[in-house]
Amino acid sequence: MPVVSEVILPILFVVFLGYLLRRLGRLDEHVLSRAQLYVLGPALVFMTMANSQAALSLVLKVLLHVFILSLLLFISAQLLGRFLKSDRLEKNAMSITAMFTNSGFYGIPVCMLAFGEEGVIYASIYVVCSATIQATAGVYIASAGNRSPGQALATVFKVPLIHAIIAARILARFDLLPPEPFMKMINLLGRSAIPLGLLLLGMQLEKIISARMKNGGKKASMEERRDIAGGVSAGLLKIAGGFIFGILILQFLDFEPILRNVIIVQSAMPTAVNAVVYATEFECRPKLVTAGIMTSTLISIVSITLILNWLN
C-alpha cells in the first residue's frame, strides 16, 4: 500500500519527533506556532501562488468549491457543538478542525501517486484556495473564541498569510517577482513549513499525554474529556462530511475528470496541521484540535485508500 508506506508513515515519524522534542527539550510550542504563522506559512503560500500557471477563472472556480465546502462544514460543526452543549470557544475549535483541510503535505503526495503530474498541478491549485479560506475565515473563527467580533476581524489582517496570497498573485501577473536568489530563499522557508507544522502537532500530542500521566490513575478532568470527545467528533465530521459535501457540490460545478477526482480526494483529506497552529496561537482549545487532527489522520489511512479505489 504505497499511500501508507510512502505518505502516512513519514508523516507520523515527524509527528513523533515533535513529541520527543517537547518531552525531552521542554520547548514552548508558541515559539514554533508563531514562526509557522508569521514566516514559514506565508512563504509556502507565496511560493505556491508565484509558481502557479493556472488561469484565474479556474482558480476562482476551485475557490468557490472550497468556500461552499468550508461553509457547510462550519455549519455542521456549529450544530454538532450545540448538540454537545459546547460553549463558543469549544464550538469554534470544532469548526476549524472540521474546516481546515490537509491539502498540502498530505493531499499533494496522494494526488501525485494517484493522478501523476497533472494531479500535482491541480492539487497545488486546491492548496492555494484552501489557504485563502484558512487565512481569512479560519483566523477569524480561531480568534473569535475569546475575542470580540471586531478584535477577531482585525486579527485577520494582522496575519500575513492573506497578504502573501495577494502579493504573489499580483507580482506574478505583472512579472515583478523578486530576483532568483530571493525566490530561492522564499522557497527554502516555504519547504520548512510542512515539517515544522508536524513537529508542532507532535508537541501538542505530548502535552495531552503528559497531562494524563501527571494525573496518574485519576480520571480525566471534565475539560479533557470534552476536548477528546469534541476532537474525535470533529475529526469524524471532517472525513465523512468533507467527502459527502465535496461530491454534492460537484453536482453543480463542472470540472474536467482529473480535476474532479483531485477535488474529491482533497475534500476528504484529514484536518490540516495549520489548525493546531491557529488554535495554539489564539488559545482556541488546541488539545481539542490536536485530538481532531490525530483522529482524522488515522481514519484517513483507510478512507483515502477506499476513495482512491472507488475512483479507480
The answer to whether position 200 is within a domain reads yes
**pLDDT of 277:** 82
C-alpha span between 227 and 230 (Å, rounded): 5
Please say whether the dihedral angle defined by the alpha carbons of residues 51, 53, 54 and 56, taken in this order, is positive or negative.
positive
| Residue whose C-alpha cell is 503526495 | 109
- Total of domains in the chain: 1
pLDDT digits (tens, 9 = 90+) for 119-161: 888 888 898 889 888 888 888 888 886 677 777 777 777 778 7
Please say whether the dihedral angle defined by the alpha carbons of residues 141, 142, 145 and 147, taken in this order, is positive or negative.
negative
Beta strands (DSSP E) in 48-167 are: none
The answer to whether position 274 is within a domain reads yes
Mean pLDDT of 88-95: 92
The answer to whether position 40 is within a domain reads yes
pLDDT digits (tens, 9 = 90+) for 24-59: 877 777 788 888 888 888 888 888 778 776 677 888
The 8-class DSSP code of residue 251 comes to T
pLDDT digits (tens, 9 = 90+) for 171-225: 988 888 999 999 999 989 988 887 888 888 788 778 777 766 666 556 667 777 8
The answer to whether position 219 is within a domain reads no
Single-letter amino acid, residue 8? I
pLDDT digits (tens, 9 = 90+) for 248-307: 999 999 999 999 999 999 999 999 888 888 888 888 888 899 899 989 988 988 999 899
**pLDDT of 217:** 54
Phi and psi torsions of 241, nearest 5°: -65, -40
**pLDDT of 179:** 92
The answer to whether position 215 is within a domain reads no
Say which CATH number the domain at 282 has: 1.20.1530.20
Residue 241 domain boundaries:
2-20+28-204+228-310
**pLDDT of 216:** 57
Smallest CA-to-CA distance from 200 within 14, 2, 57 is with: 14
Please state the separation of Cα 73 from the chain's center in Å: 13
The answer to whether position 223 is within a domain reads no
Smallest CA-to-CA distance from 133 within 295, 288, 266 is with: 266
The answer to whether position 273 is within a domain reads yes
The answer to whether position 278 is within a domain reads yes
Residue 227 pLDDT more than 60? yes
Considering only residues 79 and 19, tell me which one the structure prediction assigns the higher pLDDT.
79
Considering only residues 104 and 252, tell me which one the structure prediction assigns the higher pLDDT.
252
Query: Helix (H, G, I), strand (E, B), or coil: what is residue 265?
Result: helix
Mean pLDDT of 111-121: 84
**What is the rounded average pLDDT for all residues in the chain?**
85
Contact in structure between 24 and 199 (CB atoms under 8 Å): no
pTM of structure: 0.82
Contact in structure between 212 and 220 (CB atoms under 8 Å): yes
